[in-house]
Every structure is written in structure tokens, then in C-alpha cells.
Amino acid sequence: MSSDVIAVMTPEQRQGLEALGIRVQFPANHVIFWEGQPSRSILIIQQGNVAVIQGAPDGSEVLLAVRGPGELMGDEGALMGEPRSATVKAVSDVVGLDVPAEDLLQFVDQHHLWPQMYRNAIHRRRESDNERASLTRFTTTRRFALMLLNLAEETGKEVGDHWEIDLALSQQELGSRVGASREAAAKVLRLLRERGLIRTGRQKITVVDLEGLRTLASE
């Protein structure tokens, strides 16, 4: 579920793919795709951010990633004729283009994009495996600091000397992103607040001390 495919397209190809879509809007917390559903379309995100969530064997949910503008969501399942591999939920108001799977298939055939699509699928799976492996090497606090830095870079907005991350994510979901429980997530967030690194509010995390967070992430 990456924008790598769009990145290698010519401007004319990107416009052609977007022309196949219908404009859609989703409010924060709306589930756009459910894991296990048929992959009948893809979503090109134009505004806002989504969370990619996958069910675990024990019945819990794991936050795999947060994606934003320019990203293609659901392309692998649509191209391979497979069910959705993950749930995609809006974590802010989202505007995008819904492209039917059959139109995407014709487009990929017409523009000979299958090799790039295949390479992207392999890259995403290796990236996911490497990220899961890294969870065993770092403390929960360091993993949380790294996650917040990534979120600030990918979805945050600079307000003065602070970075605001507007995401409708629970402590449970944030914890699952780094392999931690809701209780552990709450403890780390409290620690980061006490150190003056972040502030938390309703559906918002403000990074107050970006350099301090980077230092913590590198310890």
C-alpha cells in the first residue's frame, strides 16, 4: 500500500489513473476497507491520513502503518484478486479517488506496470518483516519515540517550533504499532509528557521538543 507505483509513473500516467476514479470523502474513524473483504477497488489518497490495521492470531489488532496523500491503498489485493489483507481506517478527514479494480487492471496492462507492481509487493513485505524484527531489539520507550518521529515526518504539520500530529488513534492502537499493550503505551506517553517532549490532547499529539525526541530515539 505504497505510493511507489505513482512515483514511477509519468505525469500523463498519473493523470490517466486519477481520471478513472470517483471522488470520495470519509470522516475520521470511518473504516474504508475491512480486512477479508473482496478487493473491488483501490483508494488514491488526496487529503488526510489513514491507519492500516491487521488482525493478530490472538484476536487483537495491530497498527501496521499510517499513510497519507499520494498513497495507493488496496492495490495489491485488487491486482492479485485477493481479499483485503488489512483494514484501512480514516484517522483524519480523508478525501480521495476510488478506482474500480477492473479499471486498475486494464490500466496496469496498458502501461506495462506489472514488473513495478511486483517489485513493490516484495519490497513492502520485506520492509514489514524487517520492522517487526526490530521490535525485539529496542525498549518500548525507544520504539515509541521512533514511531512519533515517523508520524511527525509523515503526517505532522509544523506550527511554530512544534509539530502537531492529528490522528484519531487510541492508546491501544498506538501501542500495537510498537508491540506494546495499552497500559505500556499510556506509561510511555506519560513519561514523554513529564520530560517535556510531547503534549497530548483529544486525537492530537504535539511534539514540543523534536531534538529531545530524536535523542531519546537514538539511545
- What pLDDT digit, counting tens, does each position of 1-16 carry? 345 566 668 889 999 9
The predicted pLDDT at position 116 comes to 77
How many CA within 13 A on the CB side of residue 42? 30
Percent of the chain with pLDDT over 90: 61
Q: Which residues sit opposite 47 in a β-bridge?
A: 95
Q: Are 70 and 190 in contact (CB under 8 A)?
A: no
How many other β-carbons are positioned within 10 Å of the β-carbon of residue 16?
A: 14
Q: What is the pLDDT of residues 155-205, one digit of tens each?
A: 889 998 899 998 889 999 999 988 899 999 999 999 999 999 999 998 899
For residues 12 and 58, is the Cβ–Cβ distance under 8 A? no
What pTM, to 2 d.p., does this model score? Answer: 0.82
Q: Mean pLDDT, to the nearest integer, of 119-144?
A: 72
CA pair distance 31, 141, nearest whole angstrom:
29
pLDDT in tens, 78-114: 988 999 999 999 999 999 999 999 999 999 999 888 8
- Which triple of cell numbers denotes residue 117? 507492481
